[in-house]
Amino acid sequence: CHLLVEGVDQEELLLLADDAGICASAGAACASGALEPSHVLLALGLSADRARSAVRFSLGTTTTDADIDSALAVIPKVIEQLRR
């Protein structure tokens, strides 16, 4: 699940989310460490700036409802903090 948060630096968002125990990424797992915006998001028509504002959340078989609830509680607060 990609979340586009315009006006927020994705690296800052990822750091604050991680501090709160939420794991996310700036791009696809297969492009880990890449500095370029996601080629998938670019192919979908997003500008490079918008693609750099996206963060990816992965869900798997071990993801619980509590994990999702925690992310839904933390991420809006992190975004609000970064927009101040």
Cite the active site residues: 30
| Residue 28: HSE in the Cβ half-sphere, 13 Å Cα cutoff | 9
Query: For residue 22, what are its two tokens?
Result: 């939420």
Gyration radius from the chain CA atoms: 13
The answer to whether 52 and 10 have CB atoms below 8 angstroms apart is yes
